[in-house]
Amino acid sequence: GAGVSQSPSNKVTEKGKDVELRCDPISGHTALYWYRQRLGQGLEFLIYFQGNSAPDKSGLPSDRFSAERTGESVSTLTIQRTQQEDSAVYLCASSGGFGGDLNSPLHFGNGTRLTVT
């Protein structure tokens, strides 16, 4: 596809369940980012991938959060034992070139709205 694709667009889950959020970046983009956006707030950095490696996981809020990327393409963000505080929009973004390509802007998907009941 032409842009970053995220699925599902909306997810409602019960507290304590695990969820998986998927991101398909723009083809050829080596850098991939996950952000969390709570209602009416800014973007909170979660994790960054360069290729299939995650050199920066510093934003993951707890060990219930994990992410992986395969084939230098699709990435999955997994939240285990979800809590109500995990309710937010999860945004994925990709950019071309390596992390050193400062000029390359991030291209965002439309996000997954997660609601934990």
Partner 1 sequence: AQTVTQSQPEMSVQEAETVTLSCTYDTSESDYYLFWYKQPPSRQMILVIRQEAYKQQNATENRFSVNFQKAAKSFSLKISDSQLGDAAMYFCAYRRLSDMRFGAGTRLTVKP
Nearer to partner 1, 45 or 81 (CB): 45
Integer Cα distance of 99 and 58 in angstroms:
16
Q: How far is the CB of 16 from partner 1 (least distance, A)?
A: 27
Give the C-alpha distances (Å, rounded to integers) separating 19 from 4, 27, 106: 20, 25, 25
Amino acid of residue 77: L
Q: How far is the CB of 1 from partner 1 (least distance, A)?
A: 14
Binding site for partner 1 (CB under 8 A): 31, 33, 35, 41-43, 45, 48, 50, 55-56, 58, 89, 91, 93, 99-100, 102-103, 105-106, 108, 110-111, 113
Nearer to partner 1, 72 or 80 (CB): 72
